[in-house]
Amino acid sequence: MSEGVDIGFVEECESWKLESRLFPSKIGGKPAWLELEHLPSLQDLQCGMCNQQMIFLCQVYAPYEDDENNFHRTLFIFICRNSICSQRNTSSNLKVFRSCLPRRNKFYSNEPPLEQPDLNFSLSKWVKLCNLCGCIAEKHCGKCKAGYCCREHQVTDWKETHKEICGANEKFQKQSKILFKEYELIIDEELLENTEVDESKALQEYEKLEHEGKVGTLCDASETDLEAHAFVDQDATFSKFRKRISENSEQVLRYKRGGTPLWIAENPKPLNVPCCEYCKGPRQFEFQVMPQMLSVLCENELDWGILVVYSCKNSCTDYKGYKLEFIFRQDVSDIKLS
């Protein structure tokens, strides 16, 4: 059974498959920028908590197939590496940007790209990027002119590897330790067994348990009894969340443009999703990042329940550059944590 939701899984692959020219969906490493002339500025990529430069988390290639101006379309999420800024139900340490291009553009061929290595491919023709994080660079190494977004990243890169390989070909530079491990995101349709629990029936089962005096003493209850109880307990939303993902437990992303998030807790939820800052039109749910992504990345310092992304419903293209969209973090309820 399918409800029209696509889910994302990670897969290791060769780095050339994740270059901008192949329009990838990916997590970790450096961003594979889409539009190459008007990237987010240093100020755009500063954490709203500590003002330090954020790093790339993931990107999703999601074109509007019936809109020529959105023939190519990618959304990018950035996050602050400072664990102090990762606070419950707060998204100030996160930002999401949308980039769109028509099929005919100055950066890429009109024809589908060849799925093979291209040693001549380089973003440096269009933009100077940070040697460490891959974001826009405004500083550079005094000796080899390698670019950096900020003093902190230049110092970090020097200590990690640049001191020994200053001037080496950028394609052979090692990935910085502050970046997440890089994976390809494979997007596929969610398929479910037809085993969803009827909630009204579950409530009847619960009332039956309550009448029989079994509520609160479910140690000997059957799976059906436990399931019935789950739908009416204090954390029913989490129970539904856990049940829904159990059939595809390794999913790191859920995609359903115009759909509804799979919430991990009853509250909080965004009461009013702000309209697009550029065209003033409404935003709609597009995708969510799942907690399983943290496990894949072996991340112990940062945390989230789910990260929910809302984007401009019209995917407006009248303004140059990367458009800031809305991201909402929801964590597991306090009840579940206690």
Q: Are 32 and 19 in contact (CB under 8 A)?
A: yes
The dihedral through the CA atoms of 187, 106, 114, 137 has a sign that is negative
Q: Could you identify the residue written with the tokens 């826009």? A: 136
Question: Cα-Cα-Cα-Cα dihedral of 302, 255, 296, 121, to 10°?
Answer: -100
Would you tell me how many other CB atoms lie within 10 Å of the CB of residue 136?
Answer: 19
> Measured between alpha carbons, how far is 251 from 6 in angstroms, rounded to an integer?
10
pTM: 0.87
> Measured between alpha carbons, how far is 161 from 100 in angstroms, rounded to an integer?
34
Model confidence at 235, pLDDT cuts 50, 70, 90, reads: confident
Q: How far apart are the first and last CA of the chain?
A: 35
> Measured between alpha carbons, how far is 197 from 54 in angstroms, rounded to an integer?
42
Mean pLDDT of 81-94: 97
- Is a pLDDT exceeding 90 seen at residue 201? no
CB within 8 A of 203, min separation 6: which ones? 228, 231, 232
Asked which of 100-109, 187-196, 312-321 is least confident by mean pLDDT, the reply is 187-196
Model confidence at 82, pLDDT cuts 50, 70, 90, reads: very high
Q: Which of 250, 184, 186, 185 is nearest to 13 (CA)?
A: 184
Q: Could you identify the residue written with the tokens 């807790």? A: 265
> Measured between alpha carbons, how far is 57 from 186 in angstroms, rounded to an integer?
16
- Is a pLDDT exceeding 80 seen at residue 247? yes
Structure tokens belonging to residue 93: 């340490």
> Measured between alpha carbons, how far is 45 from 50 in angstroms, rounded to an integer?
12
DSSP letter at 161 equals I
User: Which pLDDT value is given to residue 145?
Assistant: 84
- Is a pLDDT exceeding 60 seen at residue 224? no
Model confidence at 171, pLDDT cuts 50, 70, 90, reads: low
Q: Are 257 and 62 in contact (CB under 8 A)?
A: yes
The dihedral through the CA atoms of 154, 157, 163, 167 has a sign that is negative
| 18-48 tens-digit pLDDT | 999 999 999 999 999 999 999 999 999 999 9
CA 67 vs CA 71, 151, 316, 317: distances in Å: 6, 41, 10, 11
In the chain, domain spans? 6-190+251-330, 194-250
| 269-305 tens-digit pLDDT | 998 999 999 999 999 999 999 999 999 999 999 999 9
CB within 8 A of 154, min separation 6: which ones? 132, 139, 141, 148
User: Which pLDDT value is given to residue 333?
Assistant: 84
What are the residues facing 325 on neighbouring strands? 96
